[in-house]
């Protein structure tokens, strides 16, 4: 354009530049050819006239090429979008196939759905990304169905059991004999802490002889503080609140407990669901001199997904009515919907359902100011259990949630057994837990 106007005098040059300007062309509703044909450029200016003609032709050719390029560009953009969509679809199909044959098992997925009940309804992309890392077979260690033998000598007797509803020897006396004369040693500050894995999905921690699977976003846990502070609880003042968020969770049938499920491996009959286990734990605690309140409010009858919202109200009201709780315990059963999965430990010939602490450190919307105190109690309980009842506990799990554990200092969620365990085995576990609390509590 600058070359074209160079052949014109200054006046014509200025006018032509204004005409070429797009805004001027729009305002005056004219074009270069209209301007040329209007005789404003004199006929005798042949050189200028010929050059401007050629210049106009070049502009038109360029516009045509620009339109062609624009069409090609749009087509290319469409092709790229199709390619991206196709690639995403292929990756998704491959992922489904991989998960089907190698990845997330149905057991772990069921466990995931159980934990998700306490999570916020807004699931981020990062949460979806972490789902595989949290719940694949390699990261979540599920014990074999085989029994874990206690190494202590068998000193049990064969007297008939009078309290538990099934026939057999006095299993409670056997379990009690193992914990008799065991004293709380105070703080557990001589435990070594080792982090064996610290990936984006999981942090594996060994604290003494116990294992912790940390799936939470908190990776700098202050174990020096946790292990050097004692837990002080007294039988005279620190009552234990027991409740069950997933009240209808049940077990497999046994000779002593025969029942029909109300839904998938659940029952609304309080004799065969978590209310029966909570009641047994409460009775065992009271027998040890520890005051307990067992709240029997059902929270998942008819609406499983809203259970945590309901139990949160229950816990708030119960703590207020109690005038404060020393410990708050949500009694669960592992959510794995598989009757062949029955994690158990054999203690002197007695089958006892394995249990697990699930601890919440807080979520994006709800802080948990007590998570260190809760973790301190859980670590102490599990450490004592490894000495008295080796294999009773599965690895502890930490999650980005609260599980109502922000409502009271020393709160915990305990999963007792799984769907494949019997109610008998779960009740045996409650006796072991009562003995552990009896060691932690002061008279």
- Among 24-28, 67-71, 199-203, 216-220, the least confident range: 24-28
The reported pLDDT for the residue numbered 359 is 97
CATH code for the structural domain at 143-440: 3.40.630.40
Question: Distance between the two ends of the chain, CA-based, in angstroms?
Answer: 99
Domain residue spans of the chain: 1-102, 143-440
Average pLDDT, integer, range 413-442: 96
The reported pLDDT for the residue numbered 384 is 95
Closest Cα partner for 397 from 442, 360, 365, 348? 360
Task: Name the maximum alpha-carbon separation found in the chain.
Answer: 130
Higher pLDDT, 292 or 170: 292
**Measured between alpha carbons, how far is 137 from 107 in angstroms, rounded to an integer?**
9
**Measured between alpha carbons, how far is 404 from 406 in angstroms, rounded to an integer?**
5
Give residue-wise pLDDT tens across range 350-397. 999 999 999 999 988 899 999 999 999 999 999 999 999 999 999 999
With beta carbons less than 8 A apart as the criterion, state whether 249 and 158 touch. Answer: no
Residue linked to tokens 């919907």:
337
The reported pLDDT for the residue numbered 58 is 62
**Measured between alpha carbons, how far is 34 from 37 in angstroms, rounded to an integer?**
5
State phi, psi for 397 to the nearest 5 degrees. Answer: -120, 135
The reported pLDDT for the residue numbered 37 is 53
Give residue-wise pLDDT tens across range 68-90. 555 555 656 666 777 777 888 88
Higher pLDDT, 422 or 56: 422
Average pLDDT, integer, range 39-63: 57
Residue 150 has pLDDT above 60, yes or no: no
Residue 26 has pLDDT above 50, yes or no: no
Q: In this prediction, what percent of the chain has a pLDDT beyond 90?
A: 53
- Dihedral, 105, 109, 110, 116 alpha carbons, nearest 10: 160
Higher pLDDT, 440 or 134: 440
Q: Where are the alpha helices (DSSP H) in 219-370?
A: 223-228, 274-287, 307-322
With beta carbons less than 8 A apart as the criterion, state whether 330 and 413 touch. Answer: yes
The reported pLDDT for the residue numbered 118 is 56
Average pLDDT, integer, range 161-188: 69
Closest Cα partner for 352 from 180, 153, 171, 176? 171
The reported pLDDT for the residue numbered 27 is 44
Average pLDDT, integer, range 153-157: 34
The reported pLDDT for the residue numbered 345 is 97
With beta carbons less than 8 A apart as the criterion, state whether 52 and 40 touch. Answer: no
The reported pLDDT for the residue numbered 352 is 97
Please give the mean pLDDT across all residues of the chain. Answer: 78
Q: What is the pTM for the complete model shown?
A: 0.69
């Amino acid at each position: 354009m600058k070359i074209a106007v160079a052949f014109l005098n200054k006046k014509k040059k200025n006018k032509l530049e204004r005409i070429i300007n797009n805004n001027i062309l729009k305002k005056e509703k004219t074009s270069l050819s209209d301007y040329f044909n209007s005789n404003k450029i004199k006929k005798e200016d042949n050189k200028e006239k010929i050059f401007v003609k050629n210049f106009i032709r070049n502009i038109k050719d360029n516009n045509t090429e620009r339109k062609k390029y624009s069409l090609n560009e749009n087509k290319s953009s469409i092709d790229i979008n199709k390619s991206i969509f196709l690639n995403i679809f292929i990756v998704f199909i491959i992922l489904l196939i991989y998960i089907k044959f190698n990845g997330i098992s149905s057991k772990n997925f069921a466990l995931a759905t159980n934990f998700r009940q306490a999570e916020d309804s807004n699931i981020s992309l990062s949460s979806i990304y972490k789902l595989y890392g949290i719940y694949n077979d390699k990261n979540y260690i599920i014990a074999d169905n085989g029994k874990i033998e206690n190494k202590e000598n068998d000193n049990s007797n064969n007297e008939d059991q009078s309290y538990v509803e099934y026939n057999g020897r006095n299993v409670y006396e056997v379990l009690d004999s193992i914990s008799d004369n065991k004293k709380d040693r105070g703080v557990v500050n001589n435990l070594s802490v080792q982090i064996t894995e610290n990936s984006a999905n999981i942090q594996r921690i060994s604290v003494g002889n116990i294992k912790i699977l940390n799936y939470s976003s908190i990776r700098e846990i202050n174990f020096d503080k946790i292990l050097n502070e004692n837990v002080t609880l007294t039988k005279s003042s620190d009552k234990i609140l027991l409740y069950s968020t997933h009240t209808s969770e049940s077990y497999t049938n046994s000779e002593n407990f025969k029942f029909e499920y109300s839904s998938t491996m659940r029952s609304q009959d309080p004799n065969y669901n978590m209310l029966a286990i909570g009641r047994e734990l409460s009775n065992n605690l009271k027998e040890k001199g520890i005051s307990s309140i067992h709240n029997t409010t059902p929270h998942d009858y008819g609406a499983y997904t809203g259970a945590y919202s309901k139990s949160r109200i229950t816990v708030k009201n119960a703590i207020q009515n109690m005038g404060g709780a020393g410990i708050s315990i949500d009694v669960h059963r592992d959510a794995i919907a598989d009757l062949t999965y029955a994690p158990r430990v054999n203690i002197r010939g007695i089958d006892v359902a394995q249990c697990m602490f699930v601890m919440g450190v807080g979520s994006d919307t709800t802080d948990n100011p007590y998570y260190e105190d809760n973790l301190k109690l859980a670590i102490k309980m599990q450490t004592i259990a490894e000495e008295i009842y080796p294999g009773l506990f599965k690895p502890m799990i930490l999650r980005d949630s609260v599980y109502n554990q922000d409502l009271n200092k020393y709160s915990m969620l305990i999963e007792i057994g799984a769907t494949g365990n019997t109610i008998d085995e779960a009740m045996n576990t409650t006796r072991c837990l009562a003995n552990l609390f009896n060691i932690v509590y002061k008279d």
